[in-house]
Amino acid sequence: MKARFVLRASTPWWRGPLLVGAAALLTILISAIMIRWAGGAPIPAVRYMFISPLQSRFGFTESLLSATPLVFTGAAVAIAFRAGYWNIGAEGQLLAGTIGATWVGLHAESLPRIVGVPLILLAGMLFGALWALTPALLRTRLGIDEVVTTLLLNPVALLIITGLLNGPWRNSESGFPDSDVIADSTKLWIVWPNTRVHFGLALGVVVIGLCWWFVGKMSGGLKLRAVGLAPNAARIAGLPVERTLLITALASGGIAGLGGASEIAGVAHQLTTGISNNFGYTGVIVATLAALSFVGALLVALMFGVITVGSFSASRALEIPSQIGQLVQAVLLITVVCALVIQKYRVVWTIKRSEGRK
């Protein structure tokens, strides 16, 4: 007996929400088992992770802060994947953006804030796009798989940051391997008084809106989707496939780099080797869970922000590993992907007949 997947001819409207809901319940069940194995109580842990951050002003605003970089990286990955460009390098592009932002922030003391803030954001975008340029050229000119090249460049960006912080950008006051604090004229505005929620979150929402509008409403977005769905057919139809991929790759890198600039100018205010908590890699999960929907990426990023803050609360209160939040995110990814496969495909079993005698 042999099994194969066959594309469903049609699916009822209720199957998608039902499967996603089942995936969420299965995620909670598996996570509860893992929490129990870690020595914690599952029900209080789930309450701390999913409900507690929303019950206080501090927890809610910190969840928004944790979600901010994921909004950028989720949008960056989603727009690249929609074009069929498999960018796994959002982590390195975000780190490149932090380098560009720090460089501007350290040399902008004399600038007014209305000039310094746009300048530091543009620097992050430019450095992120430049970091994405080499893999994009290798894909469009030589046909080299971008999954490998973008992925391998991620640790290179971190090594460059380490070299800068142990060399010319070492802190001039403490001597520690972190940069000096950037100029006040390049720091982002706080949009929620007496919290750490900064202008970067609003900027991320604007980026999400622009991506949704371009991909869904503009002729250029239609070409992008055509290239992603059927590149050979798009090429036969006369669409500039390679140019579309190149521009999309640069836009994706620029968005991720903007997320890096937002972290520097909005919350960290200095460059450190731990500036990114795997934001780029998590952005791949965000985009995948959102089914490459930009609005969905925003919602998933916010959900991950809640889980991140809640996992630290659960760790302190229940003495379980703080990495439990990452475990929940990974399990959620697996269950939702399985649900999406079940929604689009059905399993057909065929009996292999034995050959007759000659």
pLDDT in tens, 194-222: 999 999 999 999 999 999 999 999 999 99
* Number of residues assigned to the chain: 358
Stated as kind and residue range, the H or E segment containing 347 is strand 345-350
Is the predicted pLDDT of residue 142 greater than 60, yes or no?
yes
pTM of the model: 0.90
- At 213, list the tokens: 């509008």
Task: Delineate the domains of the chain, giving CATH numbers in brackets.
Answer: 1-29+324-358 (no CATH), 41-319 (1.10.3470)
CA gyration radius, the chain: 22
pLDDT of residue 155: 97
Rounded CA separation 244/226 (Å): 10
| Residue where the block lists tokens 């930009």 | 294
Q: What band does 357 get if pLDDT is binned at 50, 70 and 90?
A: very low
Range 214-237 average pLDDT: 94
Cα distance between residue 63 and residue 328, in whole Å: 16
32 HSE (CA, 13 A, CB side): 12
3-state secondary structure of 56: coil
**Helix, coil or strand: residue 173:** coil
> Do 53 and 316 meet the contact criterion of CB atoms below 8 Å apart?
no
In contact, 272 and 164? CB cutoff 8 Å: no
Q: pLDDT tens-digit profile of 106-139?
A: 999 989 999 999 999 999 999 999 999 999 999 9
Question: Which class for 47: exposed (0-12), middle (13-18), buried (19 or more C-beta within 10 A)?
Answer: middle
Quick one: pLDDT at residue 323? 84
In this predicted structure, the answer to whether residue 180 has a pLDDT above a threshold of 60 is yes
Measure the CA–CA gap between 75 and 64, rounded to whole angstroms. Answer: 16
Contact (Cβ atoms closer than 8 angstroms) between residue 326 and residue 34: no
Nearest Cα neighbor of 314 from 84, 38, 4 is 38
- Tell which residue, 73, 74, 83, has the closest CA to residue 247: 83
Distance separating alpha carbons of residues 131 and 94, to the nearest angstrom: 9
Q: In angstroms, rounded to a whole number, what is the distance separating the alpha carbons of residues 218 and 221? A: 5
Residue 326 pLDDT more than 90? Answer: no
Give me the helices (H) in the chain, please.
15-37, 42-50, 57-82, 90-105, 113-142, 146-165, 199-217, 219-229, 231-236, 241-263, 279-289, 294-318, 324-344
135-163: average pLDDT? 96
CB 117 within 8 A of CB 191: no
Tokens found for residue 356: 């007759």
